[in-house]
Structure 1
Amino acid sequence: MTAGNSTSDTTTERTDAVEAVPVEVEPEIAPGPESHPEIPWERLSIRMVWVNLVRLILSIVPGMLATAVLNTPAGPAWPLLIASAVGVSATVLAFLRFLKTRYRVTDERVERKTGWLVRKYRYVPRDRIRSVDSSVRLRHRLAGVRVVHIGSGESRSSFKLDALSIATAEELRRKLMPDASDEPAPRPLPVAEGEPVAAGGPEEAGREAVEPEPAPQEEVLARFRRPWILYEMFSVWAIFVVGGPVFGLYWFLQPFGVDLLDFIGDLVGYEQRGFWWSLVLCCAVAYPFGFVGLALGFAMGNWNFALVRTATKGRPALLTRRGLLSTRTVYRDEARIRGISFKEPLVWRWLGLTKTSVVTTGLKQGSGDDAAASILPRVRMREAREVAAKVLAGEPSPMEARLKRHPRGALTRRLLWATYGSAIVAGVLFWLGRTDVLPDWTWLVGVGIWPVALLAAVLAYLALGHALSGSYLVVRRGAFSRTTVALQDRAVIGWTLRQSILQRMGRRMTVQIPTSAGERHYVLPDAGTRQSLAFVRGSTPELAARFIKEAGSGGENVKKRQ
């Protein structure tokens, strides 16, 4: 059963007669490379030629080592030859992309054409531009250029310009998303004859008449804090930070006749300890180095982080700056922000950590730090709530609202899922063991899964919750990765109420919330029927009145479709 917002246009006609005057309407120019021939196409920065030249030289070095220095039977040289070939190919493709890439800015859109064998043309209407971001890697920083990302909220039309000079990139950003401080100051009003003139002359009088307001100052909402490094450095995946470089070093040393695996085996005493104890020892040594690698990576990627509120196009905007060797700047129009969300994986939840993102229209949603919607890295829940209160200014923070528990039937349902799922796994493994496909004891794996599944069911139930806080609705769900979302009620474009047979017997239902922001829809699972209907009516009373009616017994029913 679905209900959606409907809009109606009311037109008022004037009764007085007006003489029709023919008006010539200029035909709209269709987008394309041949449109606007009077506006020239611009090149990327010529400095990228030197950047690609340096990359080419560095890519040739491994091949020279393999052919000239290592022309011995000590070991195979093909890993270095492959690395050199890949580097040279990437450099040549980057150089061809530089030669064939052009861009321009018209009054209606931003255009880019590129391609050598296959020509590609892409454009973004200027009224659809949602972000103009810039990123800088080490090679770009040394060359004094920036990569400009022009986003429309859709991957098909968004593109990047790799790369422009710093001055050109800043000029392009100001042209596409001008700050209020970039607007020219108003001229003094002329002083009419006979009017009194201020002591400083007509200039002073005009200045008093139209004294411009001072440029908006940036309001800092959050800055980089060194404890954040500790929150990011401890991860179960830290071993892969060491494993990748070790694997690359292994292939790099092969042509020199050095077997890194044999060296590590002798170092840990593989022959004496065996495989498992050697693996435990390697992990015990690798994990600290992995933690250090994660800490260095986070520090370089988020150093000088700042979340500020500034003015873009005369409206408030959220701006994030981050990075040491590679920097990135992201602008978000605050008028498009519809809420905020916290993401808490299970281990983070136990440590009291969360990652914060805004729920907004026209920006990329993702789980990584590079997602444009992400406004904070992994921080303490207390810090995240303070920043959320500043972002959603004007009323009490919905992220601090007390959430309502869901009925116990939701817990029973999840416990049954965990039990039935474990039983099915155990049964399949038992059958495979009896047919000699797997060992006979493998069915015990299903039995071992059962306690874990029961724990996951309990965690999933404890994560459920919802609330109404001012003009926001709050929903929370997720077993191993709990997500709490606060969404403005004006962002709700409809409701979907779902009931299975078991939910109907237990007087529960699942509510789906379609919206044009964030992940496009959010789910409130297994809430009580009265809870769900009260939640819908409290969020959008006018919309709810179309399909919810009062029951004679004091409850609430959903109107049947005619």
Structure 2
Amino acid sequence: MTETTTTGAQWQRLDPRMLLVHPVREAIRFIPVLIVTVIVGSRSDNPGWGLLALAVIVGLALGRWFTTTYRIGPENVQLRRGLLQRRTLTVPRSRIRSVDVHADPMHRILGLAALTIGTGQQADREERFHLDGVAAGQVPELRALLLSDRSEEAAPQAVSEQSARPEPAEGADIAGWQPAWVRYAPLSLTGLAIVGPIVGLAFKYGVAQVLLDSDTIHDLGGRGAMFLAMLVLIGIVVLLAVTALAACIHYLTTYFGLRVLDDGRTLHIRHGLFTTRQTTLDLARLRGATVKEPLLLRLAGAAELEAVMTGTSPRQKILPQAPRAAVERTLARLLSTGPEAAVAQGDAAAPAMIGLIAHGPRARRRRYVRALAPVAVLAIALIAFAVAGQPVPLWSPIVLALLLAAATLLAEDRYRGLGHAVLPATPTWLITRHGSLDRDRDCLEAPGIIGWTVRQTFFQRRVGLATLTAATAAGKKRYHVIDIPIDKAWAIIESVTPGQLGHR
């Protein structure tokens, strides 16, 4: 990277108010060190050790501000930081895909924000372009400048808080959060992800063993098993309640006040209660959207919405758990602002509402065979044990019948969730859906597809089915049309991307 790409741009420092933030953060981060030094100092009758450690921590924190500078050139942006080991991070402006802005409570009190540039590549903390401490009033102009594709124009030498434009109010409000949506929060696995590790840690350190070895259980004698079963049942109920409460709290603090704004060129997503977050996405990189329908959310008439974009996270969430009607309405308005400006509103609504084509009886049989095969193997094993004279539990037929019913329902739901459609709009859309416990409906536009794969396993070849995979640089990279008749696979390729099929 040549130095001329940033020639003329001045190095700038972060906001001086970060001199108040860095010492507090570092002191909290090194609390264990401070506690140890205080203990050592008290035992040696020299309390100065604790003060010395605090002075070193505060000095390092202040040095972070003095050694961090950045500049925005016509072609590149650069970040220089480090006290003992200096680093200079250079990012071409053409590689910038998104700008993420967040502000924790301390930032908000001081009128600051942290700005992170996304380039579409996974990077650790040291390799991210992260400006922790710019004035909140500078954010709109910095964001617009970083996402601007007019690299031939010279960048401003500095962005002052007084000259910064106010937060843009124009643009369509395509989605807005409703407080009633919090009722869907317990239907996700978020609460379990929060509470589960705590419960697992408790069991690891012998909580269950202490309960089993307690004198109360032994004193109850024969009634101990019933008491223990009741205790486990109460524990499960309490755990479910705590999990649901944790999921609701996480949902409120994360997505409170969510708004999705579209100004025709970028998509602005804002949300957060204590720590606010603003994500700006370039709509020129939008390639479609995914409606996520996990089983519990689907039963409650809700879903989630994610954008399919190039150069950003494969899971760029637009709407969290929300009513299905709100998700479909947002999806229709989102797809009407894609990279093809000629898309009409009516055509854009079609990927969200269009009915899907079923994959036929052969795909249905495959769903049933794959779901019922384990149950059949278990039944054969039980019969073999019985014939051999081995004892078989009396409750095994009941369990087997329950497993058979569950496998049948799963197979039918998996088949109902299987489908695809090709929408010959402008541009052409490929819609595909699959899954049961975790179901996705993917809407992918044809210009974003860069290749196809038609795959047949041994068993698929026996029944004339195939799995069609559309390769793209966006989102999950691979989007599957599962168990489709082989003759229809080639027809889909030709209808979505004419001319790419070639000769077979």
| Correspondent of 1:412 among 358, 365, 384 | 365
Taking the aligned partners of 2:217 and 2:115, their CA distance within structure 1 comes to 51
Q: Which runs of 5+ in 2 are unaligned?
A: 40-53, 154-167, 337-343, 385-390
- 1:556 aligns with none
Matches within 5 A, 1:181-330: 217-235=170-188, 238=191, 241=194, 274-311=227-264, 316-330=265-279
Letter in 2 for 1:217: E
- 1:540 aligns with 497
Taking the aligned partners of 1:89 and 1:459, their CA distance within structure 2 comes to 62
Q: Contact (CA 8 Å) 1:56, 1:88: kept in 2 or not?
A: no
Q: Contact (CA 8 Å) 2:429, 2:444: kept in 1 or not?
A: yes
Check if 1:114 corresponds to 2:88: no
- How far did residue 168 of structure 1 move? 3.7
Taking the aligned partners of 1:91 and 1:277, their CA distance within structure 2 comes to 54
- How far did residue 143 of structure 1 move? 2.6
Letter in 2 for 1:335: A
Alpha-carbon displacement from aligned partner over 1:315-363 (angstroms, at most 9, x marks no partner): x222111112111111122222111110111111211211101212122
- 2:130 aligns with 160
| Correspondent of 1:172 among 142, 152, 164 | 142
The residue matched to 2:244 in structure 1 has which SS? Answer: helix
Taking the aligned partners of 2:193 and 2:466, their CA distance within structure 1 comes to 43
| Correspondent of 1:484 among 441, 466, 474 | 441
Q: Which has the larger radius of gyration?
A: 1
Matches within 5 A, 1:449-528: 452-469=406-423, 470=425, 471-528=428-485
The residue matched to 2:270 in structure 1 has which SS? Answer: strand
Taking the aligned partners of 1:375 and 1:88, their CA distance within structure 2 comes to 44
Taking the aligned partners of 1:468 and 1:90, their CA distance within structure 2 comes to 60
Taking the aligned partners of 1:465 and 1:90, their CA distance within structure 2 comes to 59
| Correspondent of 2:68 among 101, 104, 116 | 101
The residue matched to 2:139 in structure 1 has which SS? Answer: helix
Check if 1:336 corresponds to 2:285: yes
Q: Which runs of 5+ in 1 are unaligned?
A: 1-29, 70-86, 184-214, 250-259, 367-372, 432-438, 548-558
Check if 1:530 corresponds to 2:479: no
| Correspondent of 1:124 among 91, 95, 98 | 91
- 1:16 aligns with none
Taking the aligned partners of 1:519 and 1:59, their CA distance within structure 2 comes to 36
Q: Contact (CA 8 Å) 2:190, 2:247: kept in 1 or not?
A: no
Q: Contact (CA 8 Å) 1:317, 1:334: kept in 2 or not?
A: yes
Cα distance change on mapping 1:155 and 1:240 into 2, 3 Å? closer
Q: Contact (CA 8 Å) 2:175, 2:259: kept in 1 or not?
A: yes
Number of matched pairs: 438
Letter in 1 for 2:282: D
Q: Contact (CA 8 Å) 2:464, 2:486: kept in 1 or not?
A: yes
Taking the aligned partners of 1:240 and 1:517, their CA distance within structure 2 comes to 28
Taking the aligned partners of 1:345 and 1:417, their CA distance within structure 2 comes to 20
Q: Contact (CA 8 Å) 2:358, 2:418: kept in 1 or not?
A: yes
Q: Contact (CA 8 Å) 2:295, 2:436: kept in 1 or not?
A: yes
| Correspondent of 1:365 among 308, 314, 317 | 314
Q: Contact (CA 8 Å) 1:152, 1:158: kept in 2 or not?
A: no
Taking the aligned partners of 2:250 and 2:113, their CA distance within structure 1 comes to 21
Alpha-carbon displacement from aligned partner over 1:46-88 (angstroms, at most 9, x marks no partner): 322312323455568788889989xxxxxxxxxxxxxxxxx99
TM-score scaled by structure 2?
Answer: 0.74
Check if 1:389 corresponds to 2:338: no
Two-structure CA RMSD over aligned residues (Å): 4.3
Cα distance change on mapping 1:146 and 1:245 into 2, 3 Å? farther
Letter in 2 for 1:358: A
Q: Contact (CA 8 Å) 1:221, 1:390: kept in 2 or not?
A: yes
Alpha-carbon displacement from aligned partner over 1:209-237 (angstroms, at most 9, x marks no partner): xxxxxx99321111111111111144566
Letter in 1 for 2:491: A
Q: Contact (CA 8 Å) 2:94, 2:149: kept in 1 or not?
A: no
Cα distance change on mapping 1:235 and 1:359 into 2, 3 Å? closer
